[in-house]
Amino acid sequence: MFGLLDGFLKNDSISLQKDILHHVAYTVARSPFSFDDFEAYQALAHSVRDRLIERCHDTQIYFNNKDPKRLYFLSLEYLMGRSLSNSVINLGIRDQYADALNQLGFEFEVVAEQEGDAALGNGGLARLSACQMDSLATLDYPVWGYGLRYQYGLFRQVIVDGFQHEQPDYWLNFGNPWEIERVHVSYTVKFYGTVKEELRNGENCKVWEPGEIVEAVAYDNPIPGYGTRNTITLRLWAAKPSDQQDMESYNTGDYINAVLNRHGLENISSILYPDDRSYQGKELRLKQQYFFVSASVQDIIRRFKDTHSNFDEFPEKVALQLNDTHPSLAIAEVMRLLVDVEHLGWDRAWDMVCKIFSFTTHTVSREGLEKIPVDLLSSLLPRHLQIIYDINFNFMEELKKRIGLDYDRLSRMSIIEEGAVKSIRMANLAIVCSHTVNGVSRVHSELLKTRLFKDFYEHWPHKFHYKTNGVTQRRWIVVSNPGLSSLISKWLGTEAWIRNIDLLTVLQEHASDPDLHREWKMVKKVNKMRLAEYIEAMSGLKVSIDAMFDVQTKRIHEYKRQLLNILGIIHRYDCIKNMDSKDRKRVVPRVCIIGGKAAPGYEIAKKIIKLCYAVAEKINDDSDIGDLLKLVFIPDYNVSVAELVIPGADLSQHLSTAGHEASGTGSMKFLMNGCLLLATEDGSTIEIIEEIGADNMFLFGAKLHEVPALREEGPSLKVPLQFSRVVRMIREGHFGYEDYFKSLCDTIEGRDHYLLGADFGSYLEAQAAADKVFVDQEKWTRMSILSTAGSGRFSSDKTIEDYAEKTWGIQPCRCPL
């Protein structure tokens, strides 16, 4: 079709220049002789968008012709960050665009900085979806991603006087060139009302008469693959008032109220909930889940019916992936549409459901599992509640045949939890109805089998699979660390590693080469300078790039133990204070960097942020300390800030108490960027150790099997003197706010559930080991090279190939160039 217009869009720098100017004039509506960096960004983005649309279109035509089995990836969260650099790199035209901009008097990096950060998600799970979409596109899989188009992304973190405040992220304010509004792709989504039984063609049918109808409109976000023409679509749904709603009121003449009543329905897709247990059981959250799931499932069935006259082939053509339990109402929705609307009959529909769904959980604890109060579901989605009850009834009957009347076990495995608040256990629903269940690291997948879902594992061992998360090297090396990217390509003599990560291991052969060492250190130095400039611009603090840049950036959570880090920093400060000048000469200077958001209702996490600021103020203002130690908190950590911070880190910390981090993906990004890890043996770290060897990182802390006994000891556990000393310093007001910090200190000196006291000694030893190696720059650089060289297993390309083959049963479908 595009061929009919003017041939394909041309990608030489002259054509791109013309194209940018065209968009300056006709899209941004500015003079081509006078436009600023932001307008240049808008024009450039629209020029890239044209190319994405072309490829997206070709990809869909190709998929439609081939009609392969498609994967539908359902996730309530995607952390895409910025799109410009990533898109032009994946399209293979970054340099041409940079040239074109140069000729117009602009610099690519500066223009790219104008873009906002798309934060439609909370943290690990959401960034994982984004990395996986990149791999799915690059590996040519026929896929659609589905999600919600929140008007407000994750809150912006603003720090006032050391305290976190949340501000709305109205990210669409400046327009979004990366989406295509599809006003004609819309579905009605029903809520509330009642279910009636009717006799149709001699059969008993359930008819749901809804009380509220909302329209879901599609916004398509193209996801270009690297080194391929394939460009897949992330389809996000926005809520709009439906024309069918309130027809009655229009007819009865209450026009004004009918119009006013329409407002508010858009709210369904307005806000992303921060990851916080206290939001469980909220009606709006449930409405969001169903709204997104219903529109997606209707779209999937519509697409299937476009090319198939019956449902015989449905399970051979459709795979549905549940990214955690958040979209698991999709199960009941597929059943409803197949049984009530398509009239397939329960048994046939059930057989299909069991073949198409697969489920990934990102949770480690029972408390983390999602539950929906039955009363809420019964009012919002009465038909779905019936369906879930029916699924559960059949499941319980089947189970009784297998295990007899073991009521304890039956009640543990039931989808319905009978308790003070009767609820639906979403994970049980997902497990019962999926053909595969997996965790996000090996140890996590094992924990599922031995603890969280033990009963289910014993019943269906074949359903449980092991998967390890990964991150995309396109975003986390090529886009965010161009210096390292060129260096790797130079030493490997090829750019092929960008699609074939296994090639990175070739770096091992050069790990001791002095030439590589020199270049490697240079790249790190440039990245540290960039980060130091950012720190100064943001906080006014000047830091020395000769110091070790020690980073811990991730969501603030007690189990991630940012507090352990801060206690270690206080200890370091205290030691330096008490040293004579001779000893001070031997101190390895450090810049400690901490960043991350606390959920708005999570008081302890907010206190950790305040403590970090209080300690920073004391240390950074102490002229006695100088460059030996600095502490910075980076506010509003998000994907674009991560792209700056990670390449500039020497050391990164991953401190979760063993058994608490399902996987952890930040560590993989640092690893790829040649940053050494200081970590506990938890989640994916266990697999990182296997790849690069314990000698190339700094490990510490209690192991998984030691945790229960340590907890058992509780307050009687002996903790190091240094630990008691630093906690006392906080309690005694060395950093001010002693009353405010009291409850924080109590959490670690009472029950100390996350074992900070127990792990403090070995934490300090690991820190000392890192200092020792840092002095030996040759050794450090070698370890750094080996970290990057060993990071290949943690590319999301690997994870996706594994899912494609073992879970989804899909094949690459590569659109010809």
- β pairing state of 194-200 and 180-191: unpaired
Work out the end-to-end distance of the chain between its first and last CA atoms, rounded to an integer number of angstroms.
15
Token pair, residue 211, equals 């009380």
DSSP code per residue over 160-214: ETTEEEEEEE-GGGG--TT-EEEEEEEEEEEES-EEEEEEETTEEEEEEE-SEEE
Is 255 near ligand 26Q (CB under 6 A)?
no
Q: Report in angstroms how near the CB of residue 361 gets to ligand 26Q at its nearest.
A: 9
Residue among 519, 794, 809 at smallest CA distance from 663: 794
Question: Which is nearer to ligand 26Q, 123 or 222 (by Cβ)?
Answer: 123
Is 562 near ligand 26Q (CB under 6 A)?
no
| Dist. CA 402–CA 413, nearest whole Å | 13
| Dist. CA 547–CA 591, nearest whole Å | 6
747 among known catalytic residues: no
Q: Where does this chain touch ligand 26Q (CB under 6 A) — which range of 175-183, 645-653, 662-670, 718-726?
A: 662-670
Question: Which is nearer to ligand 26Q, 596 or 664 (by Cβ)?
Answer: 664
Question: Which is nearer to ligand 26Q, 441 or 485 (by Cβ)?
Answer: 441
Residue among 85, 50, 228 at smallest CA distance from 143: 228
Runs of H (alpha helix) within 195-321? 247-251, 255-262, 283-307, 314-317
Instruction: Give, for 29, the enclosing helix (H) or strand (E).
Output: none
| Dist. CA 636–CA 157, nearest whole Å | 5
Q: Report in angstroms how near the CB of residue 702 gets to ligand 26Q at its nearest.
A: 18
Question: Which is nearer to ligand 26Q, 568 or 659 (by Cβ)?
Answer: 659
Which amino acid is located at 574 in the chain? D
Question: Which is nearer to ligand 26Q, 285 or 348 (by Cβ)?
Answer: 285
669 among known catalytic residues: yes
Q: ∠ CA(409), CA(413), CA(416), 5° rounding?
A: 120
Q: Report in angstroms how near the CB of residue 556 gets to ligand 26Q at its nearest.
A: 13
Cα dihedral 524, 525, 531, 535 sign? positive
Cα dihedral 268, 271, 277, 278 sign? negative
Q: Where does this chain touch ligand 26Q (CB under 6 A) — which range of 217-225, 273-281, 562-570, 704-712?
A: 273-281
Q: Are the C-beta atoms of 134 and 793 separated by less than 8 Å? A: no
Is 299 near ligand 26Q (CB under 6 A)?
no
Choosing from 82, 190, 463, 554, the catalytic residue is 554
Q: In the range 88-127, which residues lie near ligand 26Q by CB under 6 A?
A: 122-125
Q: Report in angstroms how near the CB of residue 78 gets to ligand 26Q at its nearest.
A: 12
Q: Report in angstroms how near the CB of residue 275 gets to ligand 26Q at its nearest.
A: 4
Question: Which of 661, 681, 752, 771 touches ligand 26Q by CB under 6 A?
Answer: 661
Question: Which of 60, 249, 280, 762 touches ligand 26Q by CB under 6 A?
Answer: 280
Q: Are the C-beta atoms of 535 and 637 separated by less than 8 Å? A: no
Total residues in contact with ligand 26Q, by rule CB under 6 A: 19
Q: Are the C-beta atoms of 647 and 660 separated by less than 8 Å? A: no
Choosing from 23, 287, 362, 425, the catalytic residue is 362
Instruction: Give, for 522, the enclosing helix (H) or strand (E).
Output: helix 514-539
Q: Count how many Cα atoms sit within 13 Å of the Cα of residue 606 in the half-sphere of its side chain.
A: 15
Which amino acid is located at 477 in the chain? I
Is 73 near ligand 26Q (CB under 6 A)?
no
Question: Which is nearer to ligand 26Q, 168 or 714 (by Cβ)?
Answer: 168
Question: Which of 270, 392, 665, 791 touches ligand 26Q by CB under 6 A?
Answer: 665
Question: Which is nearer to ligand 26Q, 480 or 799 (by Cβ)?
Answer: 799
Q: Report in angstroms how near the CB of residue 759 gets to ligand 26Q at its nearest.
A: 19
Is 440 near ligand 26Q (CB under 6 A)?
yes
156 among known catalytic residues: no
Q: Report in angstroms how near the CB of residue 437 gets to ligand 26Q at its nearest.
A: 14
Token pair, residue 243, equals 């024309």
Q: ∠ CA(253), CA(254), CA(258), 5° rounding?
A: 125
Is 774 near ligand 26Q (CB under 6 A)?
no
Is 128 near ligand 26Q (CB under 6 A)?
yes
Q: Where does this chain touch ligand 26Q (CB under 6 A) — which range of 136-144, 448-456, 659-667, 721-729?
A: 659-667
Is 681 near ligand 26Q (CB under 6 A)?
no
| Dist. CA 286–CA 76, nearest whole Å | 11
**Residue 228, C-beta contacts closer than 8 angstroms, at least 6 positions apart:** 137, 138, 140, 814, 815
**Closest residue by beta carbon to ligand 26Q:** 124
554 among known catalytic residues: yes
Contact letters (x/-) for ligand 26Q, 166-205, by CB under 6 A? ----------------------------------------
Is 327 near ligand 26Q (CB under 6 A)?
no
414 by Cβ neighbours in 10 Å (0-12 / 13-18 / 19+) ranks as middle
22 among known catalytic residues: no
Is 652 near ligand 26Q (CB under 6 A)?
no
Is 279 near ligand 26Q (CB under 6 A)?
yes
Q: Where does this chain touch ligand 26Q (CB under 6 A) — which range of 88-96, 272-280, 293-301, 583-591?
A: 272-280
Choosing from 27, 665, 788, 799, the catalytic residue is 665
Q: Which residue has the tokens 């559960």?
A: 392
| Dist. CA 779–CA 782, nearest whole Å | 5
Question: Which of 47, 164, 423, 663 touches ligand 26Q by CB under 6 A?
Answer: 663
Q: Report in angstroms how near the CB of residue 603 gets to ligand 26Q at its nearest.
A: 18
Question: Which is nearer to ligand 26Q, 98 or 128 (by Cβ)?
Answer: 128
410 by Cβ neighbours in 10 Å (0-12 / 13-18 / 19+) ranks as middle
Which amino acid is located at 335 in the chain? M
Q: Count how many Cα atoms sit within 13 Å of the Cα of residue 594 in the half-sphere of its side chain.
A: 28
Question: Which of 115, 179, 275, 455 touches ligand 26Q by CB under 6 A?
Answer: 275
371 among known catalytic residues: no
| Dist. CA 613–CA 620, nearest whole Å | 10
Contact letters (x/-) for ligand 26Q, 682-701, by CB under 6 A? -x------------------
Q: Where does this chain touch ligand 26Q (CB under 6 A) — which range of 14-22, 274-282, 414-422, 572-580?
A: 274-282
Choosing from 560, 607, 610, 654, the catalytic residue is 560
The pair phi, psi for residue 323, each rounded to 5°, is: -85, 95
Site for ligand 26Q, rule CB under 6 A: 122-125, 128, 273, 275, 279-280, 285, 362, 440, 469, 661-665, 683
Catalytic positions, please?
Answer: 362, 554-555, 560, 665, 669
